[in-house]
Homo-oligomer: A and B are copies of this chain.
Amino acid sequence: MADNFSDMNLFFYPRSIAVLGASENLSSFGTRYLQALTNFGYKGRIFAVNRSGNVVLGHDIYRSVLDLPDRVDLAVISVPARFAPDALRDCLRAGIKAAIILGSGFSETDSDEGRNLEDELLTITRQGIRLMGPNCFGTYSPGGRLTIIPGQRFPVESGGIGLITQSGQLSEIIVGRSAGEGIRFSRVASFGNACDINESDLLDYLFHDSETKVVSAYLEGVRQGRRFFDIVRENSKKKPTVIWKAGLTSAGSAAAKSHTGSLAGSINVWSAFFRQTSAIQVSGMEELIDTMIGFSCLPEGCGTRVGLVSGGGAGAVIGADICERTGLQMPPLPSDIKNKLRAILPASGTAINNPLDLGVPHQKPDVFTAVLESVAAGDNVDVIVIRRVFFSEKLSQIFSDSAGSSAEELKTLLNVPIEIKKRSGKPVVVILAEELSGVNDLELEKERREIRDFFFKNRIPVFPTEARAFKAIANMAKYHYSCL
């Protein structure tokens, strides 16, 4: 374990990096990697290596890794596939212990040539160098200040989510999209064909890394089935583990073979895996991100009994439908709480029940506080979900009273869920839908994102739809209480 940890750590916290294949061609992978590294603010020493010997992006070029003046922790190799074994051999000779091969043209091509090249790489690694890839984007490590090629704009702040993905593009998409949802990562690895370093090495590392609080993975296939199973079974009880296993259909399995040369495995094997470990299975990108949001904002989880507070009746019906389909409950409110609510809300247009229909989306702070307080007081409610309440001034103007709410009132309203969460000790979840999506409605969308960010900052998870919110809550409950 200790060996694996320090081996893997070189890929996330290298003190120096050699980039093989950086050249005058600014669109070459090597050069772009060099550029991303510099722009992202890597603090260690960088060595650019290329046979040509010219200067690239202000870096002196070395003709070979064997000429480097100093010890190097990590080599990032971007040369045509046929030259990759020689490059890796040079790194081994230079005493480098960790290498990433970015380019493709190996086993994923399903050609003898590609397979042979990858076999050759594997043979070299056995002599004392660990290899990530080939056919990958490498690592994103905010703490180590290194990033994947398309990750120049990724957040520089660290967070608690560790992610490994066989797909480079998914590392780019998942980090990019979830950054907007308040998610921050400890370490991300795109490990491609998994020729040497595979999912088990990386998961073992993340499970033992104290900065990583939640372990997540996008997998197309698994190299060492038994080891993978043992590692996940042993550790997923202690650290929440979220796995998106792709390629479980016959069409997906064939595509996985072409993408990362993976054998996808059967649905039955994977169902058994999820039954026998505490890992949470998710089935798509939205669910993966939403479950990350859940674990980020509701670290202790929440139960399955939802109190739904809805600014309108149809949403209450829809919400109830989805809640039940997701396996959650919406227990009836106790009669003393119903009586309290009857004294607070008008009789007409509302429905004093669970789901609770407030009648309209625009709410006054004092009424809203009293309502949420009453719902939260219910012994049979674990989590309060708020939908279609207008926290936005512009929305309020478009859809509500011509009178509308004042900016101050809305500011106070925004703090109500946070206050209720504090006072009741129960988690509060907010659903904020995109209301209008025309090209002229961007101001509304800006306001929505600002409100979302405000809630995330205060550890109130925000989701765009009922379905996504309830699925995330259900996944939390499944993990923390082994129910559903």
Contact = CB atoms under 8 A, between A and B. Distances in A.
A449 interface: yes
Contact of A449 (B246, B357, B438): B438
A442 interface: yes
A135 B312 CA distance: 12
A418 interface: no
B445 A317 contact: no
B180 A438 contact: yes
A348 interface: yes
B32 A402 contact: yes
Nearest to A398: B153
B252 A437 contact: no
A393 interface: no
A170 interface: yes
Nearest to A169: B312
Contacts of A172: 399
A98 interface: no
A160 interface: no
A435 interface: yes
A323 interface: yes
Contact of A321 (B181, B247, B453): B247
B321 A249 contact: yes
Contact of A260 (B31, B181, B313, B321): B313
A176 to B, nearest CB: 5
Nearest to A312: B169
Nearest to A155: B438
A65 to B, nearest CB: 23
Contact of A450 (B109, B329, B436, B439): B439
A465 B27 contact: no
A204 interface: no
Interface in A1-43: 26-27, 31-32, 35
A298 interface: no
B441 A317 contact: no
Contacts of A435: 173, 176-177
B399 A150 contact: yes
B220 A258 contact: no
Interface string A442-474: 100110011001000000000001010000000
B170 A109 contact: no
Given A26-B403, A348-B81, A388-B169, A449 B437 contact: yes
Nearest to A313: B259
A252 B446 contact: no
A36 to B, nearest CB: 10
Contacts of A81: 348
Contacts of A324: 249-252
Interface string A418-445: 0000000000000001111111011001
A438 B467 CA distance: 22
Contact of A180 (B35, B285, B316, B437): B437
Contacts of A240: none
Contacts of A169: 312-315, 361, 388
3 closest Cβ pairs, A-B complex: A167-B314, A180-B437, A252-B321
Given A150-B400, A172-B399, A251-B320, 9 more contacts: A26-B401, A165-B314, A176-B436, A247-B320, A247-B321, A251-B321, A259-B357, A442-B445, A442-B449
